[in-house]
Structure formats: structure tokens, C-alpha cells
Structure 1
Amino acid sequence: MQTPDGLPSEIDLSRPSAARVYDYFLGGAHNFEIDRRLAEQIAATTPHLPATMRAGREFLRRAVRVLLDAGIDQFLDIGSGIPTVGNVHEVAQAANPKARVVYVDIDPVAVAHSRELLTGDELTGVLHGDLRDPERLLADARALRLLDFDRPLGVLLAGVVHFVPDTDRPADVLATLRSATVPGSHLVLSHSTFEDQPPEMLDAQRLSARTATEITLRSRAEITGFFGDWTLLPPGVVHMELWRPDAPSEVAANPQRFGAFGGVARNDRSAG
């Protein structure tokens, strides 16, 4: 069934959606007045948040372009939200029209919107999946038959691992994902941190403890550990704005202000 807006009936338009709020902050068009009102309330209390989200998206775009230059033509984007403006498949297919993307998100609203938006796109797929259950996530991704796990793959984890608490063993989750890939595959990861942060930034991030999506802040060393024994691409794990900026002018005097590190690594294990 469809709503009057043409969206699937399971999408509740009477309540704001975190995925649509994120879409609004990124300048997307897949949001409604109820989402925009909540977004403005959030921005009033945490004015850094919209810019942080945009910085995260810019890091992801730059990383995807680097993977494309390395010959990667298929991507598993976990924690994708709604594929909003400048999304992975648009960036990838602008460089390689045959690039394939599978989006995965735990939020049923994001999944429903994504499926509606991507109807008829044979090179993209959408899954409802939980990063904390990587075996099932990988099995569902294989079942779509869009990605070839016998070829190098780009695994994208932009701003999602910090939603996995230590009790859910994120290092094991990442190890499972890495082990599912072949040599030449790449891992892109960005993650919130407490390092180099002023008290007001930490207070804002800790507000997430009051929601169903609590953030676990981690150190650079902990975040680096998620790449395992893969080869980190220069400049390593750095504040997002410092990871291969398109121009020096894009880096502000305080790149740590977004409170997140980003990095990209390559699977250089031998095929045996």
C-alpha cells in the first residue's frame, strides 16, 4: 500500500525519522516538515552537528573516489541511511557506470525510503540489516547477487561503528567483515572520538546516551584497531577533514572540531 505521498504505508509520517533528519542536514530532499522541525531543534542545542554530518559525508565521498581509482567497482555500504544527495551510487557510477552498490541499514524507515527511491535501479540493492549480526548481513548481501565476493570489494562503515557498544564486540564484527573479502578489497571507516575534544563537544556527544542510538566514543588507537592487519592508506587514521582533502583550503585551522577520525585500509593478505 502507498501513503498519499506515494511512499510505502509502513512509513509513519506522523513521527520524525532519524534517517530523514540526517537527510535534511545533508541538504537532501527526502524529508518532511515534522523532520525539519526536529532538525532545527537539534541544531539549536548542538550547532556543530549539521557541519559534522556534512564533513562525514565529504570524507565518504573522497574515500569512494580513492577506491574507484584503485579499481573497486562494487561497494557494501553499511549504515547507509537514506541514499541522499551525493550518495555512494551516484559518486561511484559517475566514474564507473557499471559500479554496483548494496545499501544496508538497521532503520526500517531508511530502508523503506531507500527501496522506494531506488526502484528500477538494477545496479543498487537495499537490505534491512544489523551490523551487530555480520554473518546474516553478509549472507543477505550474497543472496542479492549484486556483489561478487570473489572480487575486491569496498566495505563502507561511515559513522556507524560508534553505535556498536563494547558489549557487542565491535572488533569481532569488523574481523568477520574483513574475513569475507578477498585481497585488494578496501575498508572505509569513520568513527566519533573523545580525543582532542573540548568539554562542550563531549557533553553534546554524551547526550546520545539518552536515546536508543547511544554513541560510544573511542580513541584513535581503538579505531585504528578496527582495520586489523590491513594496510592503512596514507595519511592513516586522522581527523576526517585531514583525510586527503580536495584542496588545502578545505582544511580549517581546527580540523578536530568534528570529533571523528577517518581512515581507509586495503586487504593485502595473500590469496592463500
Structure 2
Amino acid sequence: MTGIDTSKPHPARMYDWYLGGKDNYPVDEEMGRQMLALDPRVPVMARVNRAFMHRATRWLAGNGVRQFLDIGTGIPTEPNLHQIAQAVAPDARVVYCDNDPIVLAHAEALLRGTPEGVTEYLQADVREPATIIDGARKSLDLSRPVALSLVALLHFVPDEDGAHELVAELLAELPSGSYLMMTHATADFTPEESAAATEKLKAAGVTLALRSRDEFAGFFDGLELVEPGVVVVPEWHPELGEPVPGQDDGVIPGYGAVGRKA
């Protein structure tokens, strides 16, 4: 697995560690444990984000969406997005995208879809929207609606990297009837812990750009929000999935929403 930098933690591998996976390195576990010392619910937050992706994908597939572009895929943890979508609609087409070479090493697990559907993987960074769209175009029909999934990703992209502009660029290439499904960490509920976490990650070379509710809602400017709008992550259509153990032990510091492009 060439190109994997094990000298500093990577969000995808830390996420894998939080979820109980084995595809991470000591540097990822070390930083993960430092985050746990600041807030023991971090693994619950990871599972809550994963559960949101499952619920939102079920809702979208159940409402006729047959194409998905998932950026910031992370290391495969079943069920993956394509398994959720294709369980509802076997002909669903899914393109995964991530910038970590370790995810590429596990891409085979991401490509085991239904015979009727399509699953593909791109290695690219969300900061390269043109590259992503060009690659996705080979598997998705961009004249038909696409659900753009940005789950637990944009809080690693600071404003100076044009986070809002990157989302706008991606959405601009998708037709009317497309959707944005997204979660994002916030410091709104835990300002002191969040500030400490941000500094620890910064020292390790990982940028954490926690945004307020209004800043998160700004990613959906011009879109029609699906009810219930912008909410803390577990409150988005909880009836579509099982609750995550521990999610009710205090407010989960993150927002989720789904919006439709008119």
C-alpha cells in the first residue's frame, strides 16, 4: 500500500478506529485516545454519522434517487452506502471517492454491488471538484438526479480552502432534482472541549473547522431543505433506522440535513 503516510493521523483511519476497525495505525489510535480524553462520546459521534448516512440513503432511494456520489468515503464498514441504496433499488449507481490510499486498498469491498447496479471508486480529494466530476461522469448519468453525500467530511476543510465554494462547484454540475446529504461537527454545544480538540489535531497536522448551525446551513443555500431541516444528527428521520447506543447521553455536537436542488 504505497503512498500511505503513517507519520501523522488521518481522519479516515481515526474514524475507522472509533468504529472498532483494524485498518489504522498507532498514530491514529494515539490521536483517537487523546480525543477520547477530551470527550468520551467521540466513538458514538462516529456511529451517529454513519447511521445518518444509512437513514438518508434509505430516504433518498425510497424517493426515487438512483445515483449517489459519496465523497470522503472512508474505510469500508458494512453496510456501505451502495448496500443500503441497492437494497431499496437494485439498479442504484454509486461512485465512492476518497483521498486516502488506504481506502483504495480496500476498494474491492466497496465494489461488491448488485448485478443490476453500478459501484465504482475514485481516488481524489474534495478540493478537486473538477477531477471528481470528470471521474463520476464515467459511471453516473449527470443529466439525471444525483445524491451528493458529504458525511463528516467538510469539518476537515477550512474556509481558506473554500469549503462552501467547493460544495457549490460540485452541486453546479448536478441537475435539478439532485440532493445534498451532509453532516458536520460543531462547537455550538461543547466550546471548551472543541477548542482543545481543534488545537490537538492542528498540532498533529489535521485541520478541524468546526462550524455553527448558521454556517452549516449555508452549505444548503439555494436548496430546498427536506423536513425536518437542519437538526442535530440523531434527530434526522430517526424512524428510518435504529438508534445508536449512547446517542441520548447528552447532545451530539453535530448537525445533519438533506437538501434538494430545484
- 1:61-85 CA distance string (max 9 Å, x none): 1111111111011110000112212
5+ residue gaps in structure 2? Answer: none
Q: Is 1:61 matched with 2:57?
A: no
Partner Cα distance (2:82, 2:213) in 1? 29
Whether the aligned pair in 2 keeps the contact of 1:175 and 1:228 (CA below 8 Å) is no
Q: Provide, for residues 123-155 of structure 1, a one-character-per-residue CA deviation record: whole Å limited to 9, x for no partner.
A: 21111111112112111221xx22111101010
Query: Following superposition of structure 1 onto structure 2, how do residues 193-272 of structure 1 map, counting pairs within 5 Å?
Result: 193-246=186-239, 250=243, 252=248, 254=250, 256=251, 258-268=252-262
Gap regions ≥5 residues in structure 1? 1-8
Distance 2:234 2:248 in 1: 8
Work out whether 1:45 is the aligned partner of 2:47: no
1:137 matches 2:132: yes
The one-letter code sitting in structure 2 at the alignment partner of 1:48 is R
Q: Which amino acid aligns with 1:265?
A: G
Could you tell me whether the CA contact under 8 Å between 1:21 and 1:38 is conserved in 2? no
Aligned to 2:182, which of 186, 189, 192? 189
Alpha carbons 1:25, 1:39 under 8 Å: kept: no
Which has the greater radius of gyration? 1
- Range moving further from structure 2, 242-251 or 63-72: 242-251
Select the structure with the greater relative contact order (CA < 8 A; seq sep ≥ 6). 2
From the superposition, tell whether residues 169 and 193 of structure 1 become closer, same or farther in structure 2 (CA, over 3 Å).
Answer: same
The 2-side partners of 1:197 and 1:235 are apart by 23
TM-score, structure 1 normalization: 0.82
Whole-angstrom distance in 2 between the partners of 1:249 and 1:10 = 38
Name the CA distance, whole Å, in 1 between partners of 2:28 and 2:207.
Answer: 22
The CA distance in 2 between the partners of 1:67 and 1:169, in whole Å, is 27
The share of aligned pairs that are identical, in percent, is 36
Matched, 1:10 2:2: yes
**Counterpart Cα distance in 1 of 2:202 and 2:181:** 26
Correspondence for 1:96: 89
In structure 2, the residue corresponding to 1:60 is in which secondary structure?
A: helix
Q: In the TM superposition, what whole-angstrom CA distance separates every residue of 1:190-247 from its partner, at most 9, and x where no partner exists?
A: 1111112252344234422223321101111111111120100111111101111128
Deviates further, 18-27 or 84-93: 18-27
Q: Which residue of 1 aligns with 2:146?
A: 153
Look up the match of 1:6.
none
Query: Separation in 2 of the partners of 1:80 and 1:253?
Result: 27
Asked if the contact 1:188–1:264 (Cα under 8 Å) also holds between the matched residues in 2, the reply is yes
Q: Which residue in 2 is equivalent to 1:4?
A: none
What is the TM-score when the length of structure 2 is the normalising length?
A: 0.85
Superposed CA offset, 1:83-108 (max 9, x none): 21221011111111221111111111
